[in-house]
Structure 1
Amino acid sequence: MDPEYFNSYVMSWGTLGTVRPFPGLNPEKDALAVQTALEKKDVVSLVSILTNRNSAQRQMVDKAYRGIGQKDLETGLKKVLSGDLLSLMLALMMTPYEHEAHRLRQAMEGLGTNEETLLEILCTRSAPQLKETNTAYSEIYKKDLEKDLKGETSGDFAKLIVALLHKDNVVGVVQRDIEALSASLDTKKTDPAIWINILTSRDAVHLQKVLMRLEMERGEPLDKTLEKRFSGDFRMGLKTLVQCIQSPHVFLAQRLVSMKTAVVHGVMVSRCEEDLLCVRAAFLKLTGTSLYTALQKHFKGEHLQALLAICRSED
């Protein structure tokens, strides 16, 4: 553990992130320290500084750095770092919404589409967060996110994806929603539109009540019910959405179990200022091993140290 972290560690009730604002921030001092570290190729110092500042503070350091060297920090990092460590540091230098937009774009580029990453972001983010991400995507890539998503998906799965992007918060009646979903399951062919409409237009607390009572009424886990009634990408998408409604932190912990570099970077960077402590707790309960220990078994070198700095501590 970096000793500097203990100086920046300000615990407060309601704080569920692992990366918190660094007290007494001096962006100009940090910028000079970063410049020196880049000149000396001092990776340890770079990692120490960038993982001990929150996103807003890193943006301030970047601005100060540009004032010193007339170049952005991203350019400097690319000259000194490479591989997975570079990818992680560049992710940290993005704003939260830029980072989510970047992940969505990466999930749609190249051969095939990474549906799991699309679903992770669209299912776990609120309507206001997705609106900001949508704006960031348009500004960065000069493309329309909805059109890109439609181009990469099809059928009922595409309808679900678009509905998630534009999810609403309509006031609903719990019993009425239960009855509508239950009735759809009693038909010969279940109508996907009913599920898409209800599960993307209510708040999380409302939907948790609906799904819990629906499970009790049907007498089996909803996961099994959906497995029987739907198929293909839509089934996967609906099961993911239901899991995220019921327990988003368990879903994110399950994502981390794979220890795939892109997934680990994506989840840890996007959640480190929000609720990574909850994800850590879910990971420990799920695997019997702390995230901090698991990272040490799969990664190494400065890349590992950067991940541990974001994770912060053993559970």
Structure 2
Amino acid sequence: MQVFAFPAQDLVGDLKEKLSNHFKDVMVGLMYPPPSYDAHELWHAMKGAGTDENCLIDILASRTDREIFQMREAYYLQYSRDLQEDIYSETSGHFRDMLVSLVQEFQNISGQDIVDAINECYEGYFRELLVAIVLCVRDKPAYFAYRLYTAIHDLGFHNKTVIRILISRSEIDLMSIRKRYKERYGKSLFHDIKNFASGHYEKALLAICAGDTDDY
């Protein structure tokens, strides 16, 4: 079994006590190794009365089979629960069936353009899940650039989505995501974060995706 270096709980507790709002969310999130952070986000997406389907889609549609395997282990170690069983109990229909199949095996979809066919045949979160899988296989950085742009502009800076994507992709492909963002939307990710965030929260987000100075 994979052994994960969980963050020191006293440090996490101190951060939660001393910090506040979204700046606290960023700093606490940075304390987790990637599989543990994914497990943490999935747990919070499913706990309580409602389910954050977009969080489930972002994580499960974009991770490799190895990453999902590690995520399942971390989920069990952190919460003593089976990720697959929780997904099954918190979702329904075709959306649930596809999410469960992703936690058994990440399926690559490639070849001819099927996004239009998916949009014609399905609706709701199941359609979004299938499209996300296709887009992630084709160009994962472009998918996350789109999700960031939507979270920043269409949803009025949806903090939880922005934080989750920046932290989870920070050591993987965030530089490529930044590149796609600027190519597709004409302005840098730095520019849009500076326009919508402020104070320590802004500085924390910019520090995560810091890089070439010409991107400011």
1:132, 1:152 → 2: CA distance?
Answer: 21
Question: Is 2:154 the partner of 1:256?
Answer: no
**Residue aligning to 2:155:** none
Pairwise CA distance, 1:72? 2.2
Tell me the percent identity: 31
Comparing both chains, which one has the higher relative contact order based on Cα–Cα distances under 8 Å and sequence gaps of 6 or more?
1
Sort the Cα spacing of 1:289 and 1:74 in 2 relative to 1 into closer, same or farther, 3 A: same
In 2, the alpha carbon distance for the partners of 1:229 and 1:147 equals 28
Runs of 4+ in 1 over 3 A off after TM superposition: none
Residues 281-302 of structure 1 show CA distances to partners (whole Å, capped at 9, x for unaligned) of 1111221110111100110001
The aligned amino acid for 1:239 is V
Partner Cα separation in structure 2 for residue 89 and residue 236 of structure 1: 30
- The equivalent residue for 1:173 is none
| 2:61/2:129 contact within 8 Å kept | no
Counterparts in 2 of 1:1-315, with a 5 A limit? 72-167=10-105, 200=107, 202=108, 207-208=109-110, 210=111, 214-215=112-113, 222-257=114-149, 258-259=151-152, 260-313=158-211, 314-315=214-215
Match of 1:270, SS state, is helix
Structure 1 SS opposite 2:126: helix
Give CA deviations for 1:240-276 in whole Å, capped at 9, x if unaligned.
Answer: 2111111111111111111211111111111111110
TM-score normalised by the chain length of structure 1: 0.61
**Distance (whole Å) between structure 2 residues aligned to residue 103 and residue 311 of structure 1:** 20
Secondary structure of 2:172's partner? coil
5+ residue gaps, structure 2: 153-157
Q: Normalization by structure 2: what TM-score?
A: 0.87
Q: CA deviation at 1:128?
A: 0.8
- Go from structure 1 to structure 2 and tell me whether the alpha carbon gap of 1:78 and 1:235 turns closer, same or farther (over 3 Å shift): closer
Q: Tell me, in whole angstroms, the C-alpha distance in 1 between the residues paired with 2:15 and 2:128.
A: 38
Which residue identity lines up with residue 279 of structure 1 in the other structure?
A: I
The residue identity in structure 2 corresponding to 1:118 is L
Aligned-partner residue type, residue 236 of structure 1: E
Helix, strand or coil: the match of 2:61? helix
- 1:130 is displaced (CA, Å) by 0.5
The whole-number CA distance in structure 1 between the counterparts of 2:13 and 2:50 is: 30
Deviation at 1:230, TM superposition (A): 2.3
Give CA deviations for 1:27-75 in whole Å, capped at 9, x if unaligned: xxxxxxxxxxxxxxxxxxxxxxxxxxxxx9xx79x76xxxxxxx72112
SS at match of 1:124: coil
Seen in structure 2, the aligned counterparts of structure 1 residues 233 and 264 have a Cα distance that, compared at 3 Å, is: closer
Q: 1:293 to 1:232 in 2, by over 3 A?
A: closer
What is aligned with 1:17? none
Alignment length (residue pairs): 204
The residue matched to 1:234 in structure 2 has which SS? Answer: helix
Asked if the contact 2:166/2:209 (under 8 Å) is kept, the reply is yes
Whichever of the two has the greater Rg, that structure is: 1
Secondary structure in structure 2 of the residue aligned to 1:247: helix
Query: Residue 228 of structure 1: CA displacement?
Result: 1.5
Compute the RMSD of aligned alpha carbons: 2.0
